Structure 1
Amino acid sequence: MERIGLIAGNGRLPFLFASAARAQGLDVVVVAHRGEVDPALAAEVSSLTWVRLGQVDRILKIFREAGVTRAAMAGGIGRVRALTEARPDLGAVRILSRLRSVRDDALLRAVADYFESHGVTIVAPTDWLAQALCPEGHLAGPRLHPAQEKDVALGREVATLLGQADVGQTVIVRNGNVLALEAVEGTDEAIRRGGKYGGAGAVVVKRCKPGQDLRFDLPAVGPRTLAVMQEVGARVLALEVGRTVLLDAPELFRNADKAGITVVGIP
């Protein structure tokens, strides 16, 4: 059986990828980042080995010993954890020494190049998860009213600028005011901050960075995102079509309908 590697982070995406890869006849070999990955993933794959963030050469060794020549990155790494708990090995030091910038895209591309130079090609997880990408149009909840449509348009514009700066992917807007921008704290905390400053009724817009490498760091939302929105009274979740991963989409849509939260796919 052909093997594929999975460099796993937090959230549901590693589970979705593992399930889809197995369904296509692949043996899934996982390296899982400590403190990020749900240990239950071990029951869903052929093998799982724990690593610390920054152990690049260790990951390569695990894959090469398992005969893995292709691997995908799936799941997030908490940025605060990345700043405080990384344990870079010699491979990571070599990568960092060649970088002018350690922003997300530049760093991940450099990591992918390093892996490929050592015989492991990094592929896009969405090659196996096309069915999980956000479709276009109204997906759940009430229809947008004109004021919300304007907030979505503003959120798209600001998210584009935020992405160009390689800072984050999420913008929270209400009544023409930008309430919060995602940075190191991640999507959930950005939504909470937007709710704190703007009260109920906020619009959450999430989109890819312009020119984003689709092999890693795609926007992803799921039922947990919706639960945070309910917590602060946010009313709209607007997502980029074809480039946002929907985690457990049926549950997400059911919960949105029950909560009266609009979910919409925007081109």
Structure 2
Amino acid sequence: MSKLGLIAGNGRFPFLLLDAARAHGLTVVVAAIKEETDQEINARATADPDIHVHWLSLGELSKLIETFQAEGVSRAVMAGQVKHKQIFSSIRPDWRLAKLLLNLRTRSTDVLLGAVAKVLGDEGIELISSTQFLEPLLAKPGVLTRRTPDEQEQKDIAYGRTVARAIAGYDLGQTVVIAAQACVAVEAMEGTDATIERAGALFRTLDAEDAVRTDGQQDTTLRRALTVVKVAKPNQDMRFDVPVIGVRTIQTMKSAGATCLAIEVARTLIFDPDGVVAAADEAGIAIIADPA
């Protein structure tokens, strides 16, 4: 039986990939990252002899290579987020990762993961795109929800795409939050959900300030509704850092007061599409997928 290596980060992404690979009849060798991967992966391995789990630290690049080579893995995928801020944490890199980091011109996501992919390739392990197994989850074109974005949201989407593509081109993040064609929040290391939460917190502060005004007038400079725009990078490497949304994204938007989500067709993975649409419809959130 052919083997696939799975470098598993956090969240549900690794489990979706694991299920898809097993459905293709592949034995899956999981490199579970101690700082990130859900312990549930052990239960999956206990229940299925064709899932082999090896735990390693985020800094152990040599151990990752040795594990895959010992298992006979020649193809691997990355699935699940590894928080970018971990680069600056107390995790100690092994000699191979330390050498890689020392030679990087920057430590942006694309540069770092691209360098890791090259090291793996040099060792006979080809890093492939997870979308090869999850193509049905890629966003289809059009409005995905009952509600269509209104005129104001359409304007925010158009402006947000311009801003989001600009920051994505610098490998800073892939998400912006817009209101009344003004940029409220830009994603950096904190991730999409934290960016949306920050935007919601800012608007709650504005609402609180309005509540204590003494002149009876409310400041309506910004409409109290947020539009979230998520894009792929201009030269998105689908082997890693693929844009992803899920039910949690919708829940975070609802809590923040966001009413619209714009994503890119065929370059955004939607985990649990039915659940996402149901949650969005219940919250009155519009979701639209447009071409890149």
- TM-score normalized with structure 2 length: 0.89
2:178/2:227 contact within 8 Å kept: yes
CA distance in 2, matches of 1:87, 1:219: 28
- State the Cα deviation string for residues 116-157 of structure 1 (Å, max 9, x = none): 101111000001111111111100141111110010011110
Query: What's the Cα RMSD here?
Result: 1.2
Letter in 1 for 2:171: D
CA distance in 2 between partners of 1:60 and 1:177 (Å): 46
Separation of aligned partners in 2, 1:223 and 1:99: 36
Determine whether 1:247 maps to 2:271. yes
Q: TM-score, normalised by structure 1?
A: 0.97
Residue pairs, 1:55-94, within 5 angstroms: 55-94=60-99
Structure 2 counterpart of 1:189, from 194, 197, 204: 194
- CA drift of 1:32 comes to 1.1
AA matched with 1:162? I
Distance 1:6 1:119 in 2: 15
Q: Is the 8 A contact 1:19 1:44 kept in 2?
A: no
| 2:246 equivalent among 222, 241, 244 | 222
Match for residue 48 of structure 1? 53
> Which of 126, 143, 163 pairs up with 2:168?
163
Offset, 1:162: 0.5
Deviation at residue 62 of structure 1 after TM alignment = 0.7
Deviations 1:181-238 (A, max 9, x none): 0001111110011112245410000011111211000111101111111111110111
Letter of the 2:168 counterpart: G
More moved, 209-218 vs 31-40: 31-40
Aligned equivalents of 1:141 and 1:190: distance in 2? 26
Gaps of 5+ in 2: 46-50, 205-223
Deviation at 1:41, TM superposition (A): 2.2
Q: Which residue is 1:9 aligned to?
A: 9
Instruction: Determine the C-alpha separation between the residues in 2 that align with 1:141 and 1:78.
Output: 34
Q: Distance in 2 between matches of 1:74 and 1:217?
A: 9
Question: What's 1:140 paired with?
Answer: 145
Counterpart for residue 207 of structure 1: 231
Whole-angstrom CA distance in 1 between matches of 2:112 and 2:36: 19
Q: Quick one: structure 1 residues 85 and 77, their matched pair in 2 at CA, closer, same or farther if it must change by over 3 Å?
A: farther
**Unaligned runs of at least 5 residues, structure 1:** none
CA distance in structure 1 between the partners assigned to 2:264 and 2:44 by the alignment = 29
Per-residue CA distance 1:39-75 (angstroms, 9 max, x = gap): 1123335111111112110001111111111000011
CA contact (8 A) 2:84 2:109 kept: no
Aligned to 1:238: 262
Asked if structure 2 preserves the Cα contact closer than 8 Å seen for 1:9 and 1:32, the reply is yes
Matching residue within 128, 134, 138 for 1:129: 134
Aligned partner of 2:48 in structure 1 is none
Runs (4 or more) in structure 1 with deviation over 6 Å come to none
Larger radius of gyration between Structure 1 and Structure 2: 2
- Aligned equivalent of 2:121: 116
